[in-house]
Amino acid sequence: MKNKKRLKTETTSIFFVSKEKEPLLSKKNRKLLTDPMDDNNPITVQVLGICSALAITVQLKPALVMSISVMAVMAASNVIISLLRNLIPNRIRIIVQLVVVASMVILVDQILRAFAYDVSKELSIFIGLIITNCIVMGRLEAFALGNGVWKSFLDGIGNAAGYGFILILVAFFRELFGSGKLFGYQVIPDSFYEMGYVNNGLMLLSPMALITVGLIIWIQRYRNRVLIEKN
């Protein structure tokens, strides 16, 4: 299934090479932003970046910071690779992509450590693990290498937003049912607990993230029939 999707993005990217000047947010460009939110969502459709979706969705705040960090890394590295796309030697292009992604991630990590120390402590190794997030490399290879700077930028933002949207959705349910809080603030009133309501400790563990993602996929496919594979 993954291959099929990649083929699809490749054909669209060829389709995008048009000569005439088009407005910055033309219909096609807008689609670059909206497509990954639903039809081509990196997590629920392409099933990429699952690892971090399990690991940092216990609470909303780290999930939000992670999404923003991934967005910064993806947009920046997509732009850089797109700028260099006619210069990069084909044989070492994966290495070049890795170097670019890795240095962007280190930058984000350093900046967080200097300006948002608490958050960087909370995310700890997961910032470093953005390097291994398949979505980032996938977009570089499938899109930025063959498209212009502005389109690549939009593609990076769009895919990161699609990733972040699912991350935040999962974190919302996990924090709400796991600890009765949202962004660290108690939202389930004490009277519920007095009546015998108990936080679901299972929600704090990674398997429940997978199950939540599964439920989201279910709802998405129920709503959007195009996504259902035909046997």
Partner 1 sequence: MNRDSNVYTFLFATLMVLIVASSLAFTASSLKERQISNVRKEKMQNILATIGIETEREEAEALYNKYITEELTLKEDGSIDPEINAFDIKLNNELRKSYSDQRFPIYVASVEEEKYYVIPLRGKGLWDAIWGYIALEEDKNTIKGAVFDHKGETAGLGAEITQQWFQNRFLGEKVFDSQGSLVGINVSKTNNDPKDLDKDDHEVDAISGATITGDGVTDMIKERLTHYLPYLKQEKSIVALYN
Q: Which residues bind partner 1 (CB under 8 A)?
A: 58, 87-92, 95-96, 99-100, 103, 106-107, 110-111, 113-115, 117, 124-125, 178, 201, 204-205
120 or 159, CB closer to partner 1?
Answer: 120
CB of 180 to partner 1, least distance (A): 13
CB of 55 to partner 1, least distance (A): 9
CB of 219 to partner 1, least distance (A): 26
152 or 179, CB closer to partner 1?
Answer: 179
Q: What are the DSSP E strand ranges found in the chain?
A: 181-182, 185-186
148 or 201, CB closer to partner 1?
Answer: 201
Q: How far apart are CA 32 and CA 229, in angstroms?
A: 23
Neighbouring CB atoms inside 10 A of 73's CB total 25
Neighbouring CB atoms inside 10 A of 66's CB total 28
Residue with tokens 């195009």: 226
CB of 99 to partner 1, least distance (A): 6
Q: How far apart are CA 59 and CA 163, in angstroms?
A: 16
